[in-house]
Amino acid sequence: MKAMPLILTLLFFCCSPVFAGQIYGTLRESGRPVPNVKIDVICGGNTYSAVTDNGGLYRLFAKETGGCTIRAYYQNQIPQSSLDSYPNPAHYDFDLIRNANGQYELRRR
């Protein structure tokens, strides 16, 4: 009987990503994947981070649902955009668009 609370606690902590909303997608510039870019998703007061792989893919888990902000740290700039976090996985592909003034914009595809 004493083991039951311990087992429940372990199950809760081992399975916590199941309760989180997965956010994933790709980051591209000029149609090409952008590797090794830090991605932050800010939901409420919490920040969730990932780094794009060689194919430009990122994947992270946000505990909150609702409106969030995504930031990409690219070439000494931090373009950002908005997205929504859901209890179920959400797919967001973004393009880095360079404006005439040299500033990057993070635009959803």
pLDDT of residue 5: 54
Stated pTM of the model: 0.80
CB 94 within 8 A of CB 72: yes
Average pLDDT in the chain: 89
Please give the domain boundaries of the chain with CATH numbers for all domains: 22-108 (2.60.40.10)
Among 15-19, 65-69, 91-95, which stretch is predicted with the lowest mean pLDDT? 15-19
CA distance 82 to 102: 21
First to last CA, the chain: 53
Q: Going by DSSP bridges, is the β-strand pair 66-73/38-43 parallel, antiparallel, or unpaired?
A: antiparallel
Nearest residue to 97 (alpha-carbon basis) of 86, 81, 83: 81
CA atoms within 13 A on the CB side of 27: 30
